[in-house]
Amino acid sequence: MSSFYVEVIGAETFKQAEKMLADVPGGMDRALKSATKRAVSFLRTQSTKEIRQRYDLTRKNIRAEQNIRVSYRYFNGIEARITFRGNKIPLFRYGGSSPKTPTVNPDKTIMAIVNGNLRPVHPGVAAAGHQLVSTSPTTFSRAFVAQMKSGHIGIFERTGGKTATGDAEIKEIMGSSVPQMLGNEDVQEGLAEKTMAKMDERLEHEVNRILAGWGG
């Protein structure tokens, strides 16, 4: 999890909006909620762009594991804590991962424990993958692509241990989480500045929209 504070609305802007909407019942609350919704949507888009500049991921795979929560406190205006949450993203979902489906190597045979018994099997083709767009995919000699009973497909590697049923134990190779990708202070500062500007812009728009509607 990664979080940081952003002064989304300064004291002067906040007081000006309050003054303009003083005669509109619930006007300030409506303006803030609408402006915040737009600002968070903007932040989600901007954070995705920041990630894709460095990491080989599609927007879909980022947003599947991206959870942005915003909480506020009134302190000379409005200060928001923006919290990014999300699980680590399987390496298989990154661009450059291969093979794209579980594939065995028919030219190679190894001894493996299957259903508690040691027997010869054709191993999976060595899997490859990477995270950063600036690097080439790395081939993992002990890793392979497999599909679990749940239907989930990923890149797995043998740990050398055994499961409770006596089978060879495997674990999935994971990449970074969204909070880890956005953990850089320079990235956070950039996102904070852009979000502040967007929030200020949207609040002004919402105030004017509400006043126009109220006047009509």
Q: Residue 17 — φ and ψ, nearest 5°?
A: -65, -45
pLDDT at 143: 93
Asked whether the predicted pLDDT for residue 58 surpasses 70, the reply is yes
**CA 10: distance to chain centroid?**
28
**Is 52 or 84 the better-scoring residue by pLDDT?**
52
Residues 116-170 pLDDT 10s: 777 777 777 999 999 999 999 999 988 999 999 899 999 999 888 887 777 778 8
The tokens describing 100, both together, are 């794209």
Cα separation, 7 vs 80, in Å, equals: 6
- Give the Å distances, CA to CA, from 136 to 96, 129, 180: 8, 8, 21
CA-closest candidate to residue 78, choices 208, 203, 185, 211: 203
The tokens describing 48, both together, are 């995705």
Q: Which pairing describes strands 77-85 and 2-10: parallel, antiparallel, or unpaired? A: antiparallel
- Give the Å distances, CA to CA, from 108 to 102, 112, 130, 168: 15, 13, 25, 18
139 and 127 Cβ atoms separated by less than 8 Å: yes
45 and 68 Cβ atoms separated by less than 8 Å: no
Asked whether the predicted pLDDT for residue 96 surpasses 50, the reply is yes
The tokens describing 83, both together, are 């919290």
What's the mean per-residue pLDDT of the chain? Answer: 84
103 and 123 Cβ atoms separated by less than 8 Å: no
